[in-house]
């Protein structure tokens, strides 16, 4: 360990003494003069050493705040003052220079099999005992928004060595020629690791990552600040053909045959089951379209079932006493679900003349499903 020496006062300076010219023969007078000069010199050194405390913490270090630019020739471990940005700089591996207080890095490892270039948007891809693993991130809905991490600040080969991912601050020497200064950049839903200045829409993830500071092909600059909003899952499903309960006063689960749009929610097996991939609090709304083949009074019941168990107080009734025509019924509930849970929309009629009716598209209107279900995560 190197000794750290400190002094509370300015240290006295000692000039090396000028020694007398040696004589050809031994002379006691010369030897005494020589000894006295050296004794005085070493006494002065001892006085200086007396001012010092050895192996004690230092109170502070002063850097020259007006020094010219310090060379950063891959000199890992060097600390200097950066005049233009008014901060300390630390030279790290891969030629990375961190501006203290203005940039934050995550130490990451690449296990993709290929080099991840500087300026690549990356996300969480696993972990080992001593490393966070990353891979180019794509915002097409296949990965949660919470997996986003930041932008690589240098080329990182798949060598087992760890590198640096910027989670806050500047990333330089990137290609920003496709954008305009000041553009807000999002993680691309079509190219892994890339940016887009067009805000994505569902079912893609919307993850704002950076802003364009300087436009350039090889010398572009972006400022990274990933903004991760809680990703909510959703789905819209339909029954596009008629559905007729076979027996009166009997519960049936409505099977769905069409997925309109979905992310994190899917039709299960059997197709009456709507399965959620993520836990949370969900809003469930289903519209049913009834039609009767006679004019006798009859009722239709609709309610929500979770994991095979009826949800209490979720039933809604509709009375129909017309022959032909259509009547809408609605069930609207909020429910807490765990990952892998499923819901079903249950229906029962007091007379089998009452059915769920789908109507096909016309020249002037789109089709009308027998049942239309929307489920949306409203809280994680």
Instruction: DSSP for 259-326, please give it.
Output: EEEEESEEE-SSTT-EEESS-EEEEEEEEEEEEESS-S-EEEEEEEEETTEEPTT--EEEEE--SSS-
Residue 134: per-residue pLDDT: 96
What's the confidence (pLDDT) of residue 73? 63
The lowest-confidence range among 18-32, 118-132, 180-194, 204-218 is 18-32
User: Which of 64-73, 91-100, 102-111 tops mean pLDDT?
Assistant: 102-111
pLDDT above 60: residue 303 = yes
DSSP helix/strand/coil, 331: strand
The arithmetic mean of pLDDT across residues 301-307, rounded, is: 97
* Choice among 45-49, 223-227, 303-307, 322-326 with the minimum mean pLDDT: 45-49
- pLDDT score of 133 more than 70: yes
pLDDT of residue 74: 66
User: If you average pLDDT over residues 264-285, what whole number do you get?
Assistant: 95
End-to-end CA distance of the chain: give it in Å, rounded: 51
In this predicted structure, the answer to whether residue 83 has a pLDDT above a threshold of 90 is no
- Report the C-alpha gap between 176 and 222 in whole angstroms: 8
* Domain positions in the chain: 5-54, 103-227, 234-379
Write the pLDDT tens digit of every residue in 10-42. Answer: 656 666 667 677 777 777 777 777 788 888 877
What's the topology of domain 103-227?
Virus Head Decoration Protein; Chain: A, (2.40.300)
| Cα 96 from Cα 78, distance rounded (Å) | 11
pLDDT tier for residue 76 given thresholds of 50, 70 and 90: confident
> ∠192-193-197 over CA atoms, to 5°?
100
Provide the pLDDT confidence category of residue 3 given band limits of 50, 70 and 90.
low
Percent of the chain with pLDDT over 70: 92
> What's the whole-number mean pLDDT along residues 335-358?
96
Q: What pLDDT does residue 372 have? A: 97
CATH for the 234-379 domain, from 3.20.10.10, 2.40.30.20, 1.20.120.1200, 2.60.120.40: 2.60.120.40
- Per-residue pLDDT at 1: 43
The pTM (predicted TM-score) of the whole model is 0.68
Average pLDDT (155-172) is 93
Q: Is the pLDDT of residue 159 over 70?
A: yes
Average pLDDT, the chain: 89
Q: Buried b / exposed e across 61-96, counting CB within 10 Å, b at 16+?
A: eeeeeeeeebebeeeeeeebbbeeeeebbebbeeeb
Mean pLDDT of 96-122: 93
**306: pLDDT strictly greater than 90:** yes
4 pLDDT above the threshold of 70: no
Q: What is the DSSP secondary-structure string of 229-264?
A: PPPPPEEEEEE-S-B--SSTT--EEPP--EEEEEES
Residues 184-211 have a mean pLDDT of 93
Which has more pLDDT, 6 or 248? Answer: 248
Q: Which whole number is the average pLDDT over 176-205?
A: 94
pLDDT in tens, 347-364: 999 999 999 999 999 999
pLDDT confidence band for 267 (50 / 70 / 90): very high
The residue-averaged pLDDT of 280-290 equals 96
Backbone angles phi, psi at 323, to 5 degrees: -95, 115
């Amino acid at each position: 360990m190197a000794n750290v020496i400190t002094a509370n006062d300015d240290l006295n300076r000692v000039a090396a003494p000028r020694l007398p010219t040696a004589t050809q023969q031994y002379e006691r007078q010369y030897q005494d003069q020589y000894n006295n000069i050296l004794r005085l010199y070493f006494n002065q050194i001892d006085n200086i050493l007396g001012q010092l405390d050895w192996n004690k913490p230092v109170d502070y270090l002063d850097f020259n705040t007006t020094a010219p630019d310090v060379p950063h020739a891959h000199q890992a471990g060097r600390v200097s003052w950066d005049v233009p940005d008014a901060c300390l700089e630390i030279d790290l591996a891969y030629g990375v220079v961190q501006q203290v207080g203005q940039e934050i890095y995550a130490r990451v490892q690449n296990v993709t099999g290929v080099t991840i270039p500087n300026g690549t948007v990356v996300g969480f891809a696993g972990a080992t005992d001593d490393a966070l693993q990353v891979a180019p991130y794509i915002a097409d809905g296949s990965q949660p928004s919470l997996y986003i991490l930041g932008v690589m600040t240098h080329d990182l080969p798949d060598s087992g060595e760890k590198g640096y991912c910027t989670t806050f601050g500047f990333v330089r020497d990137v290609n920003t020629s496709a954008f305009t200064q000041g553009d807000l950049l999002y993680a691309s839903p079509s190219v892994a690791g890339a940016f887009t200045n067009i805000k994505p829409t569902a079912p893609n993830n919307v993850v704002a990552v950076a802003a364009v500071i300087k436009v350039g092909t090889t010398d572009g600059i972006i400022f990274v600040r990933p903004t991760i909003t809680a990703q909510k899952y959703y789905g819209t499903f339909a029954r596009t053909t008629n559905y007729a309960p076979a027996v009166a006063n009997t519960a049936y689960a409505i099977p769905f045959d069409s997925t309109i749009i979905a992310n994190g929610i899917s039709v299960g097996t059997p197709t009456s089951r709507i399965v959620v991939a993520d836990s949370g609090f969900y809003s469930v709304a289903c519209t049913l379209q009834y039609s009767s083949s006679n004019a006798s009074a009859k009722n239709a019941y609709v309610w929500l079932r979770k994991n095979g168990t009826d949800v209490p107080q979720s039933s809604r009734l509709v009375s129909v006493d017309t022959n032909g025509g259509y009547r809408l019924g609605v069930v609207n509930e909020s429910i807490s679900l765990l990952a892998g849970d499923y819901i079903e929309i249950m229906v029962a009629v007091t007379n089998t003349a009452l059915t769920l009716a789908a109507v096909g598209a016309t020249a002037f209107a789109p089709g009308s499903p027998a049942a239309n279900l929307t489920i949306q995560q409203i809280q994680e």
